[in-house]
Amino acid sequence: MLQQLKQFLRTELGRNSYRHLFRTKEYFHHRLEVEKQRADRKGENFTVLTLDFKKLRTELIPSLPLKDTFDFIEELASAAFRLTRRIDVATWHNRDCVAIILCDTPFIGARKFLKRLNNEFLKIAARKTYEDLFLLNKIDINMYTYPEDNRQDQDGLSETLPLSDFEIIEPINLNGQLSKQFKSIGTQLLKRGIDIFLAYTGLLLFAPLMGAIAIAIRFTSPGPVIYRQKRVGYNGKLFELYKFRSMYYNSDENVHRRHITEVMRNFNSICAEEAPAIKIIKDVRVTPLGRFLRNTCLDELPQLINVLKGDMSMVGPRPHPEYEVINYDRWYRRRLSVKPGLTGLWQIQGRKHMFYPDAIRLDLSYIDRWSLGLDFKILFYTLPTALAGLAIHKK
């Protein structure tokens, strides 16, 4: 009897049984952000699956009454919903498209879900005698697994699909969203105006100090006063970053390259204490004066010129070298969606003793929570952080 009741619910009630169980788009987007943050924090995968029935609807309408067409599509969508778990989230993203978040599910798991779904669809089509009309390729199916994983399943297919294959459910963006304030052109102009004012003022105020530092560098070690390096900025654009030289001239730059590669490879160490910190501790390439400049952040002062040029902002994620960016995991890349900054959350909350993924999460947190108030707060705490570095240097 119970089995017959289940069969009745599945075949006869159709959309009346499941339509009301689909979540709203707003809740779906909220859960998508929650799942993304959880995946960033724990390194676990989830998959977003979309089923677009528009082509199928267009194919069916000439041969079926409109109500029967939509009932059929509703039944297919309900079949997809029945296969989901309690932790999964499904919504009608528009009239023709169902979007599903498969929580804790890598791409291989989503492929298995699709195989089961395909079988259900074929059963429904056969029962409705639509075999001649129903073809799986008439339903546009897209999957996107987050974070990106380059492993391959048994069929040799990439475990993730390109973001372009996920455009069907825009404006969902698994790479994260800039805050609404950040998107505003007016706010961007205001932020740029503040950057120019602060950078210009800073150069005027610190000109005597910068001159003294330049003389000290010249007299304590041979080589140029300013160190130049290509860094990756907004949207992956390369620019030349300026710093006061803090290392001995012609020091081996591959030391940092090897160190950062080790950091990025080992950040998932079972014991966090075993993972190397971002900064090289007691770097022998650094001069005594350079160590003082680094501890007090004074080596960054020439980057006020980068701010004036528009390559950087006063506040934002710190710019990384190209060899570091090419090793980013997919979820790291969102930090390139804003201009790099002279200072940021990472600089005031841990600096050299912080582990790599924690620093990335702080950068992404800044992007998600951005406001002018937050910028001023970070700027306010940057000076005490620099003074704390001076105290450490004296010890």
Q: What is the pLDDT of residues 273-321, one digit of tens each?
A: 444 556 666 778 889 998 898 888 899 999 999 999 999 999 999 999 9
Q: What is the pLDDT of residue 136?
A: 53
User: In this predicted model, what pLDDT tens digit does every residue of 91-100 receive, in sequence order?
Assistant: 888 878 889 9
Does residue 331 lie within any of the structural domains?
yes
Tell me, yes or no, whether 250 and 327 share the same domain: yes
Rounded to two decimals, the pTM is: 0.58
165 has pLDDT over 50: no
Domain boundary among 115, 139, 169: 169
Looking at the structure of the chain, the number of domains it has is 2
Q: Is residue 387 part of a domain?
A: yes
Q: Which two tokens stand for residue 191?
A: 């932020």
Q: According to the model, what pLDDT value does residue 182 have?
A: 59
- Residues with Cβ within 8 Å of residue 334, at least 6 apart in sequence: 175, 176, 364, 367
Clarify whether residues 118 and 216 are in a common domain.
no
pLDDT of 353 reads 59
Residue 364 shares a structural domain with residue 314? yes
The pLDDT-based confidence of 176 (bands split at 50, 70, 90) is very low
Q: Is residue 175 part of a domain?
A: no
Residues 96 and 52: beta-carbon distance below 8 Å: yes
> Do 387 and 253 share a structural domain?
yes
Co-location of 78 and 217 in the same domain:
no
- The answer to whether residue 262 is domain-embedded is yes
Q: Which residues of 228-245 are buried (b: 16+ CB within 10 A; e: fewer)?
A: eeebbbbeeeebebbbbb
In a domain, 61, yes or no: yes
Residue 4, pLDDT above cutoff 80: no
How high does pLDDT run on average in the chain? 76
Please state, in angstroms and rounded to a whole number, the distance separating the CA atoms of residues 270 and 274.
8
More confident residue, 24 or 347: 24
Residues 128 and 214 in one domain: no
> Given this model, what pLDDT does residue 200 score?
95
Q: Is-cis flag, bond preceding 65, omega within 30?
A: no
pLDDT over 90, % of the chain? 22
Among candidates 343, 341, 356, which has minimal Cα distance to 386?
A: 343
Tell whether 59 and 204 lie within a shared domain.
Answer: no
Q: Answer with the residue of higher pLDDT: 194 or 36.
A: 194
Residue 278 and residue 263: Cα distance in Å, rounded?
Answer: 7
Does residue 34 register a pLDDT over 80? yes
Last residue of a domain, one of 145, 169, 193: 169
- Sheet containing strand 89-92, strands side by side: 89-92, 97-102, 46-52, 140-146
Distance of CA 156 to the CA centre of its chain: 26
Residue-level pLDDT at 369: 83
Question: Where residue 347 falls among pLDDT bands split at 50, 70, 90?
Answer: confident
What are 239-284's pLDDT values in tens digits? 999 999 999 988 877 887 887 777 776 654 434 444 455 666 677 8
What pLDDT shows up at residue 315? 94
State pLDDT tens for residues 84-136.
998 999 988 887 888 999 998 888 888 888 888 888 887 877 776 655 445 55
Position 137 confidence tier, pLDDT thresholds 50, 70, 90: low
Measured distance CA(54)–CA(95) in Å, rounded? 9
Point out the domain boundary residue: 141, 169, 197: 169
Structure tokens, 138? 């008439």
Question: Residue 19 corresponds to which tokens in the numbers above?
Answer: 């339509």
Instruction: Taking the CA atoms of 221, 227, 229 and 231 in sequence, report the sign of the dihedral they define.
Output: positive
Same domain for 132 and 164, yes or no, is yes
Domain limits at 20? 2-169
At 347, which amino acid appears?
Q
Q: How many CA atoms lie within 13 A of 13 on its CB side?
A: 13
Shared-domain flag, residues 137 and 280: no
